[in-house]
């Protein structure tokens, strides 16, 4: 099977022909149908995060189950599944509390199967890791069964793929981490797949004012079409904060940062009204720090919260988001502007570095 591999973090992708073993206990084999290209793949590609290699990149995918290993009750062969990039172990204390997104025993942390081995090999037998145990830039993969979530009838593979990362990360940040109440005023900084999904989540939550901010004008247009009530073309920090405060009558109740830059994290915190919450969704390169003035944070009772994977319990939330899509409440298709092949992923990374375009989706077969 063909797959997009990087030898070490920081090196370009190579398309390779690899062998794939069958699924073992607790695993399923998936024929990939679609995989979105997410900024987190670019972080790994650029060496922002240290990751072992060689590794098949990609973590926003959907496909059809071709075979299941022993002991697997769900999914079943033939199911369309959306793949979760954080397979819960179901044994640790966090899983016990129902907080799958904080699982400490997840195989995804090691980019291997639960037994510590890999199913992907080169012709010489050398093992290849799968990013977050799903490595979706591959025609086929074997993944933990707990990472493969069956989709309802009629679901599109492309939309299912995006539920695997940006939709769940963004919609979940709005609905689950922030628990947005009707009438809330929010700002969203950064309008990639994640930020636009936050906008969609804020619309579902019936937020009153939704200010969308990006440095690329075309992103503001699409945010408006998805329900943003105000848009701000990002300029220097002071001007941007001023514009956000103007649009929200003194500052938002909730400010979402969906870029992963210290500068915009600081803008999110600084824009807040008293009592407001900054929800940090974007991931920075390792080791970066952001700062805030302590007095107004304490004096104004403001809060800073991290949101990983939209506080998702994939087995519950993926089907819920798919249902909202089928009912027309979550227009995931609007996030997709290009369908590409595996060989186009590097060019897509270039576009992403420039902030160009919406989600590109690798289509297989
Ligand atoms: N000010 C405003 N907008 C900015 C700025 C800035 N200084 N820098 C970048 N942006 C915008 C880009 O124009 C783009 O629209 O942020 C958006 C980022 O979108 P993508 O690159 O598509 O990223 P996405 O996949 O949505 O992920 C966003 O979440 O999960 C993390 O690792 C991921 O850190 C990344 C973030
Ligand atoms: Zn992602």
Centre of ligand 1 to C-alpha 308, Å, is 15
Q: What is the pLDDT of residue 193?
A: 95
Q: Provide DSSP, 188-256.
A: EE--SHHHHHHHHHHHHTT-SEEEEEESSHHHHHHHHHHT-SEEEE--SHHHHHHHHHHHTTSS-SEEE
Q: Is 310 touching ligand 1 by the criterion CB < 6 Å?
A: no
CA 195–ligand 1 middle distance (angstroms): 7
Pocket test for ligand 1, best of 211, 259, 279, 332 (most atoms within 8 A of CB): 259
pLDDT the model gives residue 53: 86
Residue 51's pLDDT is what?
83
58-71: per-residue pLDDT in tens?
Answer: 999 999 999 999 99
- Flag residues of the chain having pLDDT under 50: none
Give residue 355's pLDDT: 87
Q: Is the CB of 234 under 6 A from ligand 1?
A: yes
To the question of pTM greater than 0.95 for the whole model, the response is yes
**Tell me, what's the pLDDT at 33?**
98
pLDDT at 22: 98
Q: Is 40 in the pocket of ligand 1 (CB under 6 A)?
A: yes
216: Cα separation from own chain's centroid:
20
pLDDT tens digits along 12-62: 999 999 999 999 999 999 999 999 999 999 999 999 988 888 999 999 999
Look at ligand 1, atom 31, and give the residue with the nearest C-alpha: 282
Alpha helices in the chain (DSSP H): 39-45, 93-96, 157-163, 166-172, 193-204, 217-226, 237-247, 262-271, 294-299, 314-326, 345-353
* 190 alpha carbon – ligand 1 mean position (Å): 5
């Amino acid at each position: 099977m063909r797959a997009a591999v990087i030898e070490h973090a920081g090196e370009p992708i190579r398309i390779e022909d690899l062998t794939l073993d069958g699924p073992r206990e607790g695993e399923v084999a998936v024929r990939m149908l679609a995989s979105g290209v997410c900024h987190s793949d670019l972080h790994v590609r650029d060496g922002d995060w240290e990751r072992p290699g060689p590794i098949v990149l990609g973590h926003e995918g959907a496909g059809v189950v071709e075979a299941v290993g022993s002991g697997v009750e769900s999914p079943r062969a033939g199911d369309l599944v959306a793949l979760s990039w954080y397979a819960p172990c179901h044994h640790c204390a966090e899983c016990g509390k129902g907080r799958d997104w904080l699982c400490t025993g997840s195989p995804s942390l090691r980019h291997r199967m639960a037994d510590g081995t890999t199913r992907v090999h080169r012709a010489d037998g050398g093992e290849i890791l799968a990013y977050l145990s799903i490595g979706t830039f591959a025609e086929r993969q074997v993944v933990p069964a707990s990472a493969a979530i069956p989709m309802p009838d009629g679901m599109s593979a492309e939309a299912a793929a995006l539920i695997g990362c940006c939709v769940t990360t963004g919609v979940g940040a709005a609905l689950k981490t922030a628990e947005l109440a009707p009438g809330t005023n929010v700002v969203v900084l950064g309008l990639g797949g994640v930020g636009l999904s936050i906008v969609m989540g804020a619309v579902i939550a019936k937020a009153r004012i939704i200010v969308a901010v990006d440095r690329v004008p075309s992103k503001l247009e699409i945010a408006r079409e998805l329900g943003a009530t105000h848009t701000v073309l990002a300029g220097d920090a002071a001007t941007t904060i001023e514009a956000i405060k103007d649009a929200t009558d003194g500052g938002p109740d909730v400010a979402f940062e969906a870029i992963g830059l210290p500068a915009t994290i600081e803008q999110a915190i600084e824009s807040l009204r008293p009592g407001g919450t900054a929800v940090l969704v974007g991931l920075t390169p390792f080791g970066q720090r952001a700062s805030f003035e302590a007095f107004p944070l304490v004096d104004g009772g403001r809060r800073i919260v991290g949101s990983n994977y939209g506080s998702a319990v994939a087995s519950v939330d993926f089907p819920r988001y798919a249902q909202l899509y089928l009912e027309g409440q979550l227009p995931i298709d609007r996030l997709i502007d290009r369908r590409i092949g595996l060989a186009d992923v590097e060019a897509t990374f270039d576009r992403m570095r420039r902030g160009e375009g919406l989600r590109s989706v690798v289509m297989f077969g």
